[in-house]
Chains A and B, each alone.
Chain A
Amino acid sequence: MSRTAPLIVLAGNPNVGKTTLFNALTGSSAKATNYPGVTVDVRAGELAFDATTHATVVDLPGTYSLVARSPEEQIAIAKVAGVGGEAVPDLVVVCVDASQPARSLYLLLQCQELGVRCMVALTMADEAKAATPAPAKLAALLGCAVVQTNAPNKQGLTELRDAMRQALQSEVPAPLWRWQPSSELQARIASVVAAVDQDSNHTWPHNDAVAMWALLCCDHDDELVGVPPAVRAAAMQSPLPQNLDDEPTLARWQWLDREIPALIKAVPDRTNTERIDGVLLHRWYGFLVFAGVMTLLFLSLFTFAAPMMDGIESLVGMAGDQVGQILGPGLLRDFVVDGVIGGVGTVLVFLPQILLLFLFLGLLEDLGYLARVAYLMDRVMRAMNLHGRAFVPMLSGFACAVPAIMATRTLERRRDRLLTMMVIPLMSCSARLPVYTLVITAMMPGARLTQGLLMVGLYAFSVVAALVAAWVMSLTVKPLKSKRLPFFVELPPYRMPRWGGVLRGMWSRAASFLREAGTVILACSIALWALLYFPRELPAGARDYDALIAKATDDATKSALENERSTARLRNSYGGRMGQAIEPAIAPLGFDWRIGVGIIGSFAAREVFVATMGITVGVDRNLDEDAQRESLRQTLHDAKNTTGGKAYTPLVGMSLLLFFALACQCMSTLAVVKRESQSWRWPIFLLAYMTGLAYLVSLAVYQFGKLLGFG
């Protein structure tokens, strides 16, 4: 074996057990790496043949074809053919679903046309049963090794490893085309080959298949990246006539239709799946089960996660207290406890919801139900130009936008993912709830019932806002416009979930959140802490609180002075000054500087608004939590503006509620969008459009309200 470990690429259609096989082959060595420029994880791991010989195995995202329209789909050709700066693989293992081998083999034919070493791992034979083609006959037909495996039961793995090792030692085959291109197509391929030859690094002797790929994929409408300009120019010299465009696809299917049926002795039995579908996709029962599953998902994020989140918060609080006692009062303690440990808490508190959501998604995906959700809900979602698969992420947005945005990974196309990501933060998340509660109880008059209805109204408003925003953006923002590609979602047979894979996937999502988004959130929350903490010196002319507190004789005076000092410090902090500086801009919405500071502080997390308002209006922080809340409510209710009128009228309350419903007051959301879109462009766009929208709506409501005599 050569000095550097050989490179093996694992390819195959979605839902053929490829990832389970990858996990079984590479064990715990697998690492997900983000493919540059796209939000697709490509996993790689080590495969040990024996103590000294290893190979690197790359798990390609599931694909039906090497033909590509988008950068995500382009990964397949890049990895299999070793183009675009990728290493040429030493072996491509194609997973072939025993219950529908022809569709899987379509991909194998494309690989063989490239002239790479290929072999087949025959999966799902336990499901196909009698319909499974005999491996030996298949191998004879395909001219490559075929090994039947059942990765979940570890069957056939040794044989597969041996076959892989043997294949690696075989000679690199010549390109194998099962069909003879017509002379017209041949001429077109020849006209592109020169450009491919010129560009390739000469490790690739047979460029016909690559040239044909370029001919089929390049046009004025594709989104491919990094196709060499000379190749693109040659491929697009003149449009490919439809008959030539169809020729490779039809020719491959013709060969498969001629050769494969003879190898298959039975039709795979789908009766169980049909029976379950009969209930789960039924007009009435189907929606009943659907509602039940979605309620459970929603409850688990909203309710079951709460004790875990409380636990994390109290653990972080305890850690802060312990460290605080060791460090003693002062700048260092405030930085470590409030800045760093508080920031770590902000990150960790997302974990329960992320873990639960991905546990659910993993189970539903494995079961085959996630595809059915897309099928059931597509009619509703497509009205807003969203994909049926966007439903679960959007629903999760009611709990928290952070895991919900991470869940957009279940959508295949980047355009669908981005559009969904852009509207999820409009869904009314649980962090808005404390803000709504405070504003409604402190500023809105009326009985419990009207207040309750207002709350329900805000939730309904958020759904409408998200759907309308999706619709508008899909028509106006170029990268979000819908392309006419088929909504061709496979409805796989129902299968028992593989717990190992589900838990592994859940953990890898959580780990990547901590590693990539977590660090950004931590840095932002420390920066926000500093913004609201510095400078410590009060301006000249302020009361000398330290001296007054030292002189105070009773506890009541002392705590009153301490609260006054906190308020003065916050007002004087950089963040406080920003709040006052933006007052002219937010005054037309009915907000004063105190709300301005609250809005700046709430960027760490929306519910922080409540705590910040507590300090800006000077609530006694020595009271217990309930009393503080009540005091804040009362203080806000009684607060006066500069002219002595009521500062927070119901109209101000309404304006503030709408502002919080629409504004992107959440740095964690932005950090996750940055991570998931792999670009700063989308979080900036999200922040800009949501803040703009919030501002305009609040402005309109407040100004019209005043005209009409409210407030």
Chain B
Amino acid sequence: MKTLAQISPGKTATVVGVAGPRAFRRRLMEMGLTPQTDVRIVRIAPLGDPIQIEVRNGQWSLRRDEAAQIEVAP
């Protein structure tokens, strides 16, 4: 299975599930990163981390190791 951290900029993937501790997982899901939601990788920050994502018409900054907790299907 791929994670969001492995998706290249410009590509869109669909969330399958979010792993990690309870509070972390819930925070991401409350922001709209729920299963079956499309996430677009907008770009990667100049220093290689964090990444800029678009989900449900909003854009967010997310660290790479956090994106690695989000399982996606391309």
Contacts and interface: CB of A to CB of B under 8 A. Distances in A.
A375 B52 CA distance: 8
A420 interface: no
In this complex, which of B24, B48, B50, B61 has the most chain A Cβ atoms within 10 angstroms of its Cβ?
B61
B28 to A, nearest CB: 6
B11 interface: no
A125 B30 CA distance: 23
A260 B61 CA distance: 25
B38 to A, nearest CB: 11
B43 to A, nearest CB: 6
B47 interface: yes
Contacts of A284: 46
A488 B46 contact: no
A489 B61 contact: yes
Interface string A361-398: 00000000001001110111010000010000000000
Contacts of B42: 277
A64 B56 CA distance: 14
Contact of B57 (A106, A268, A378, A487): A268
A281 B45 contact: yes
Interface residues of A, number: 50
Given A253-B32, A484-B20, A487-B66, A216 B26 contact: yes
A103 B57 CA distance: 9
Given A486-B63, A490-B59, A491-B60, A281 B52 contact: yes
A250 B63 contact: no
A555 interface: no
Contact of B30 (A65, A131, A287, A378): A65
In this complex, which of A249, A273, A283, A378 has the most chain B Cβ atoms within 10 angstroms of its Cβ?
A249
A102 B56 contact: yes
Given A488-B61, A490-B58, A250 B28 contact: no
Contact of B62 (A246, A488, A492): A488
Given A103-B56, A282-B46, A378-B45, A67 B61 contact: no
A122 to B, nearest CB: 15
A709 B43 CA distance: 57
B36 to A, nearest CB: 8
A486 B29 CA distance: 11
Contacts of A103: 31-32, 56, 58
B26 A485 contact: no
B46 A281 contact: yes
Nearest to B18: A246
Contact of A487 (B23, B32, B48, B63): B63
A348 B7 CA distance: 53
A648 to B, nearest CB: 44
A270 B62 CA distance: 19
A485 B50 CA distance: 14
B28 A488 contact: yes
Contact of B52 (A102, A267, A485, A491): A491
Interface in B3-56: 20-32, 34-35, 42-43, 45-50, 52, 56
B47 A380 contact: yes
A486 B66 contact: yes
A480 B52 CA distance: 27
Given A69-B23, A283-B46, A249 B30 contact: yes
Nearest to A106: B30
A219 B50 CA distance: 29
A249 B25 CA distance: 11
Contacts of B52: 277, 281, 375, 491
In this complex, which of A246, A371, A375, A378 has the most chain B Cβ atoms within 10 angstroms of its Cβ?
A375
Nearest to A217: B23
A351 to B, nearest CB: 34
B50 A371 contact: no
Contacts of B57: 99-100, 131, 267-268
Nearest to A260: B56
Contact of A485 (B24, B47, B56, B59): B24
Contacts of A388: 50, 61
A625 interface: no
Contacts of A487: 50, 61-63, 66
Contacts of A246: 25-26, 29
Interface string A641-664: 000000000000000000000000
A265 to B, nearest CB: 13
A184 interface: no
Contacts of A282: 46
Contacts of B49: 378-379, 382
Interface string A264-279: 0001101001000100
Given A67-B30, A382-B63, A491-B59, 4 more contacts: A246-B25, A273-B59, A277-B42, A277-B52
9 contacts: A250-B29, A270-B59, A281-B45, A375-B61, A485-B23, A486-B63, A487-B61, A488-B27, A491-B60
Interface of A: 64-65, 67, 69, 99-100, 102-103, 106, 131, 216, 219, 221-222, 242, 245-246, 249-250, 253, 267-268, 270, 273, 277, 281-284, 286-287, 371, 374-376, 378-380, 382, 388, 483-492
